[in-house]
């Protein structure tokens, strides 16, 4: 309503002029209870997936230098940490391995060994009776001596040959007790092949969360440190199989293909730089949609907090709420446990 000005001077200098707009947006913001009452989006513990790192050694916790506060757990220590996450109400953890360099080769052979560190960790979590979902990546980069997500011929990443290995990797993970297979490799056709393989092996109950729109991003650096693929990949590029940051329509095509091939849930990765993709995916398909607040996002926020440049408690919660506002049903975040504690404390 346009301001028409007062018809006569007010007797009370503190009172609004006659004709002043009756709609005041700040009324609903005035008190804490009112702000909570009218909140359009909420972040809860059920929205959190905790990515965790596991190694095969005896050292309980090995810090990741580029991710302050994040560690690589031994199998025993991981079981303890996952139990704490479950007690906080976190629905699922995503397990990523640090593989002994001596076990790496160009074919990523250890990825399909039933006793590799991922399968050992999954079996240990399940044997402990912890009521939490366990998600495993289907990808070869932690296992290959070249750091790529697929088999190689010269400089070429082989698509169909890689998919065959990913099916075998998914099967041993499902047999170990993995609840959700999450192919992150970005090979064409891998969702359909993995779905077919799981169903044929009697694992029809195992869900698939596809890394459907995974971008070739500079935000993955600390993660590659954590799983030991940074040194093997070196200056190598994943541009031929991960998506260009310039593209949005391509993401919609990728998601459509993964859903048609049998994906139960889809993911956008990275997170904050791609909130527009999250929104488009959710609006277009109305399926369970997740985002990954990746290692580089974590490292930036944590570093700025440690230096006093940002209020860490505030910006962490704000960043996660941004994912919800964009349409994400949940977020993979290294902040999951501390955020769950904060939410539980009220």
* Catalytic residue, candidates 104, 214, 282, 324: 214
Closest CA to 291 of 34, 25, 2, 48: 48
CA distances 130 to 84, 86, 122, 134, Å, are 10, 7, 11, 10
Catalytic (active site) residue 214:
yes
**Distance, CA of 7 to CA of 10 (rounded, Å):** 9
What is d(CA 335, CA 305) in angstroms, rounded to the nearest whole number?
13
| CA–CA separation, 166 and 186 (whole Å) | 11
Catalytic member of 4, 126, 235, 269 = 269
With contact defined as beta carbons under 8 Å apart, do 110 and 67 qualify?
Answer: no
> Nearest-CA neighbor of 95 among 138, 139, 52?
52
Q: How far apart are CA 295 and CA 316, in angstroms?
A: 13
Residues comprising the binding site?
254
Task: List, as residue ranges, the binding site for Mg(2+).
Answer: 254
Cα–Cα distance, 336 to 85 (Å, whole number): 8
Q: Kind and range of the H or E element at 224?
A: helix 221-227
Distance CA 144, CA 228 (A): 10
For 13, 62, 186, 219, the CA distances from 119, given in Å and listed in that order, are 73, 20, 22, 27
On whether the CB atoms of residues 236 and 262 are closer than 8 A, the answer is: no
Task: Using the Cα atoms of residue 20, residue 22, residue 25 and residue 29 in order, give the sign of their dihedral.
Answer: positive
Whether 282 sits among the annotated catalytic residues: the reply is no
Burial (CB < 10 A; 0-12, 13-18, 19+), residue 137, is buried
Closest CA to 268 of 332, 208, 218: 332
Give the active site residues: 214, 269
């Amino acid at each position: 309503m346009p301001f028409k000005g007062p018809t006569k001077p007010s007797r009370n200098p503190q009172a609004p002029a006659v004709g002043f707009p009756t709609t005041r947006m700040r009324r609903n913001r005035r008190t804490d209870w009112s702000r909570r009452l009218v909140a359009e989006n909420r972040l809860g513990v059920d929205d959190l997936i905790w990515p965790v790192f596991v190694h095969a050694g005896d050292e309980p916790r090995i810090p990741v230098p580029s991710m302050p506060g994040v560690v690589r757990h031994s199998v025993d220590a991981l079981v303890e940490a996952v139990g704490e996450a479950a007690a906080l109400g976190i629905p699922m953890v995503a397990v990523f391995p640090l593989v002994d360099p001596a076990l790496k080769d160009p074919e990523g052979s250890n990825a399909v060994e039933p006793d590799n560190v991922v399968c050992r960790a999954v079996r240990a979590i399940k044997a402990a009776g912890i009521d939490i979902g366990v998600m495993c990546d289907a990808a070869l980069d932690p296992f290959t001596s070249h750091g790529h997500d697929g088999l190689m011929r010269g400089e070429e990443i082989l698509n169909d040959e890689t998919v065959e290995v990913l099916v075998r990797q998914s099967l041993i993970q499902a047999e170990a007790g993995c609840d959700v297979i999450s192919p992150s490799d970005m090979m064409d056709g891998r969702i359909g092949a993995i779905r077919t393989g799981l169903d044929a092996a009697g694992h029809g109950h195992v869900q698939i969360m596809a890394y459907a729109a995974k971008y070739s991003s500079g935000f993955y650096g600390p993660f590659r440190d954590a799983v030991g693929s940074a040194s093997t990949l070196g200056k190598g590029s994943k541009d031929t199989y991960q998506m260009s940051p310039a593209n949005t329509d391509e993401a919609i095509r990728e998601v459509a293909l993964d859903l048609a091939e049998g994906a139960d849930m889809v993911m956008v990765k990275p997170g904050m730089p791609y909130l527009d993709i999250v929104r488009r995916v959710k609006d277009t398909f109305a399926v369970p949609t997740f985002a990954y607040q990746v290692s580089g996002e974590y490292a930036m926020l944590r570093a700025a907090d440690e230096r006093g440049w940002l209020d860490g408690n505030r910006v962490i919660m704000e960043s996660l709420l941004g994912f919800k506002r964009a349409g994400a049903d949940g977020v993979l975040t290294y902040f999951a446990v501390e955020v769950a504690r904060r939410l539980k404390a009220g």
